[in-house]
Amino acid sequence: MTETRKVIVVGAGIMGAGIAQVCAQAGLQVFFNDIDEQALGKALERIVWSLGKLAAAGRLSEEKETILSRIRLFPDLSVAVEADIAIEAVYERLDLKQNIFRVIDQSCGPRTILASNTSAIPITELASVTRRPDKVVGLHFFNPVAMIQVVEVIKGIETSENTMQASIDFVTTLGKEAIRVESDIPGFLLNRINLVSYVEAIRLVEQGLAKIPEIDKGVRLAFGRKQGPFETGDMVGLDVSYGALMAIYEESKDPRFYPPQLLRRKVKAGYLGRKTGKGWYDYDAGGNRKLDLA
């Protein structure tokens, strides 16, 4: 594949917005797609806010407006044929992702790499619905995309070495470090480590052994993390974590990954974290956390 210059990002959620932003910051032309034009508008507002925060901290090498000019919003895939790489970034549901892969496979040119930002769904299953399984790869970014400097590059059964190397080069272009994953086992590498500890933290709360703020504080202070498991869970979205856990569990049948009852109840109640104002913690309209739970 030639040098990546044009990227299409499909899905205007938190992850899609973050990926579009870092691509634009890296000097790439970004075609940002979602069938929901209102969602695209909100995603652009999120990008403007994020770039403003980075500019205020002196962390942008260009003017905010220059970066924003590289992002073009599209409710259809008419421009997909121009892309060097297409990145799907929608909810963790196999049928939804496969439907999108069928569409972008038809819409993109033959040289385009098709990538998924999935955190748990096997790349091979996504590649199976396309005519180019050798050009399908996993690119697992972490939230917040602008801040976290690692991306998992995941190989499906038929992913070619050329596709892997081109994808690693793309990640490097974004100023991030690529972690190469040689097989698309459920959850890949980092989520298999992180989600087990998240599940255990929830179970400790269910058993009444500690309060949520105490666990978060302990993890921050003892392990040197910037956030505890529940703080991270609210940032990522409880529904996203639930979807990833179920994808791993359904594929592996490993009980360590079955979502605890407390997480299942919160998702059913719509307590999904910062984006809904309520998750493990409560948040005000500005997304700031209210007083810790008692």
pLDDT digits (tens, 9 = 90+) for 143-199: 889 999 999 999 999 999 999 999 999 999 999 999 999 998 888 999 899 999 999
Domains of the chain by start residue, with CATH: 6-181 (3.40.50.720), 191-276 (1.10.1040.10)
Q: Across the chain, where does the E strand assignment appear?
A: 6-10, 29-33, 71-74, 85-88, 113-116, 136-140, 150-155, 177-181
Q: Which regions in the chain score pLDDT beneath 70? A: 1-2, 292-294
State residue 1's pLDDT score.
Answer: 45
State residue 4's pLDDT score.
Answer: 83
State residue 291's pLDDT score.
Answer: 75
Q: How far apart are CA 162 and CA 184, in angstroms?
A: 17
Q: How far apart are CA 34 and CA 41, in angstroms?
A: 10
Is 121 exposed, middle or buried (CB count within 10 Å of its CB: 0-12, 13-18, 19+)? buried
Single pTM value for the model: 0.87
State residue 120's pLDDT score.
Answer: 82
Hey, which residues are catalytic here? 119, 140, 152, 191
